[in-house]
Amino acid sequence: MRTLRASISRPAEQFRIATFTETTMMKMETHEDMEKASGATHGAGEFLTFRLGVEEYGIEILKVQEIRGYDAVTTIANAPEFIKGVINLRGVIVPIVDLRIKFGLGQAEYNQFTVVIVLNVGGRVVGVVVDSVSDVITLEPGQIKPAPEFSSSFDTRYLTGIGSVDDRMLILVDIECLMLSADMALVDEAAA
């Protein structure tokens, strides 16, 4: 099981984020590094990659708080189908969203590879269920292409682009925009 432990300290504009065990060591020392990794420079940055079905997706690493194995959740009555329920994460009640169901990618199977990516978006902690986590990759501006435009019936407002690494294509998702959107029903419209 991969774990991510994020800690941020801010003395004199210094930021530090500790990382994955078993994959990559990421350490950012200055505010400029944080802006670069968050995509502030033309969409470039570091992305956590994960799978939903046969497709591979990427989200900004700075939105990720930790990665956990999938455990049973407490179901909430009358919640949308894609909201699996809530978990108690060290005293914080965290809603759990299944992205496979939300994106209409078929029936979700929960196995030993299924993980929950715990996110910190808009000051709110939210977990998303994905089939598996791949790795952390750095994308340069030239490796990111704009999201394709489709008819108005196909919503691409949560896609920031398509990343290309060697023979891999990554669907880059603006996870904060998605999680804080009204159709997710996770925050009041007035708060969003």
Per residue in 142-157, pLDDT tens? 999 988 776 554 567 7
pTM: 0.74
Provide mean pLDDT across the span 101-119: 89
Which of 137 and 18 is assigned the larger pLDDT?
A: 137
pLDDT, position 22: 34
Which of 116 and 156 is assigned the larger pLDDT?
A: 116
In contact, 71 and 85? CB cutoff 8 Å:
no
Provide mean pLDDT across the span 162-174: 92
pLDDT digits 0-9 by tens, 46-62: 999 999 989 999 999 99
Which of 17 and 77 is assigned the larger pLDDT?
A: 77
The answer as to CATH 1.20.120.330 being correct for domain 44-184 is no
pLDDT, position 149: 75
Q: How many angstroms separate the CA atoms of 168 and 139, rounded?
A: 12
Provide mean pLDDT across the span 21-31: 32
The position carrying tokens 């969003």 is 192
Q: Which strands make up the sheet holding 132-139, listed edge to edge? A: 132-139, 45-52, 55-60, 168-173, 159-165, 144-145
In contact, 15 and 21? CB cutoff 8 Å:
no
